[in-house]
Amino acid sequence: MEFFLQQTLNGLTLGSVYALLAIGYSMVYGILKLLNFAHGEVYMFGAFAGYGVLTLLGGPASPVVPVWLLLILMFAGAVVVSSAIGVAMERFAYRPLRQSSRIAPLISAIGVSFFLQASALFLFTAGFRTYDTPKLIDISTGITVGPIRVWLVRVLVIVGTAVVMVVLTLWVSRSRTGKAVRAVSFDREAAEMMGVNVNHVIVVTFLIGSALAGISGVMTALVFGRIFHFMGFIAGLKAFTAAVVGGIGSIPGAMLGGLLIGMAESYTTGYISSTFQNLIVFGLLILVLLIKPTGLLGKPQLVKV
């Protein structure tokens, strides 16, 4: 029982991170019908930005500011860097291709991903860095749930993700811009005719998606430690799986998918073997796609002629 709870908790943490990342994929797809392959790289840059702030402020062993402020600054740094990259990506790589064939932005996205990865290799060089969070927040601090003890950082990740999701859901359903996002996602041309500034909406979408990716990057690094230039690739794929499983284009779907993938991965590692981890996740994706091609919460696309 304790082992099961431990795995569930692990899955929940992992799932939170994937869900945040998956939302970005889903929102962009909903609006532009574009698979933004470079989203994982935005996440990786977020993790590195957090690391940069941490190092600038004295490192995990001897931070010059209080820990809570340090954490906030790390997240802020990641959000700034990630959204800057996301918005620049949209402006320079995807906007010129709005009118072109469907395949062009996809290839452009692959190019951006490749370029960003190489840039990270250039900037940060190969090799692993670590946040060394246990030095920052003692591993014994936390809360007790039943038989297990939950580290404060994990609590932070899970609660933080929940808060972000509630805020995002409220924003999308209530605010003016949120409504515009939904309108553009539903039918871009009609929304444009109704006076929605489509360019503005697209920029906002990239901004939010990338900011969430940055937050997700710092969260991953806080809990799981290691960051490296290649980390965005595999995490991006998992989050992408999550978005597709949940139904790409749907925000609740991305959340559900993220949690599902996180859980699946955690239980596989715990009960079977970590060798099977990626295989099971990818297999799950193919299974879901074959049974329900639009994902769990996705709506079938109408084809207009």
Sequential DSSP letters for the chain: -HHHHHHHHHHHHHHHHHHHHHHHHHHHHHHH----TTHHHHHHHHHHHHHHHHHHTTTTTS-SS-HHHHHHHHHHHHHHHHHHHHHHHIIIIIGGGTTS-THHHHHHHHHHHHHHHHHHHHHH-SS-EE--HHHHS-TT-EEEETTEEEEHHHHHHHHHHHHHHHHHHHHHHHSHHHHHHHHHHH-HHHHHHTT--HHHHHHHHHHHHHHHHHHHHHHHHHHH-EE-TTHHHHHHHHHHHHHHHH-TT-HHHHHHHHHHHHHHHHHIIIII-TTSHHHHHHHHHHHHHHHSTT-SSPPPPPPP-
Q: Specify the stretch interacting with other proteins by CB under 8 A; choose among 55-63, 95-103, 172-180, 220-228.
A: 95-103
Q: Is 193 in the site for other proteins (CB under 8 A)?
A: no
Site for other proteins in 35-54 (CB under 8 A): 35
User: Rounded distance, CA 219 to CA 129, Å?
Assistant: 15
Nearer to other proteins, 117 or 250 (CB): 117
Q: Is 102 in the site for other proteins (CB under 8 A)?
A: yes
> How many residues make contact with other proteins (CB under 8 A)?
50
The distance of closest approach from Cβ of residue 1 to other proteins in the complex, given in angstroms and rounded to an integer, is 29
Least separation in angstroms between CB 164 and other proteins: 26
- Cα 210 from Cα 216, distance rounded (Å): 10
Closer by beta carbon to other proteins, 1 or else 103: 103
Nearer to other proteins by Cβ, of 116 and 136: the residue is 116
- CB of 58 or CB of 96, closer to other proteins: 96
Per CB under 8 A, 283 contacts other proteins:
yes
Q: Taking contact as CB under 8 A, which single stretch among the options 42-50, 128-136, 213-221, 285-293 is the one that binds other proteins?
A: 285-293
Using CB under 8 A as the binding rule, whether residue 302 contacts other proteins is answered as no
Q: Report in angstroms how near the CB of residue 275 gets to other proteins at its nearest.
A: 5
**Among 8-16, 53-61, 129-137, 232-240, the segment contacting other proteins (CB under 8 A):** 232-240
Binding residues among 108-167 for other proteins as defined by CB under 8 A: 108, 110-119, 121-123, 125
Euclidean distance between CA atoms 245 and 231, whole angstroms: 21
Query: Binding to other proteins by residue 285, rule CB under 8 A?
Result: yes
Report in angstroms how near the CB of residue 46 gets to other proteins at its nearest.
Answer: 16
CA distances (Å), 165 to each of 184, 202, 206, 223, 280, in order?
A: 21, 20, 16, 19, 27
Q: Of 58, 134, 147, 293, which one interacts with other proteins (CB under 8 A)?
A: 293
55 binds other proteins (CB under 8 A): no
Binding site for other proteins (CB under 8 A): 33, 35, 88, 91-93, 95-97, 99-108, 110-119, 121-123, 125, 233, 237, 240-241, 244, 275, 278-279, 282-283, 285-286, 289-290, 293, 303, 305
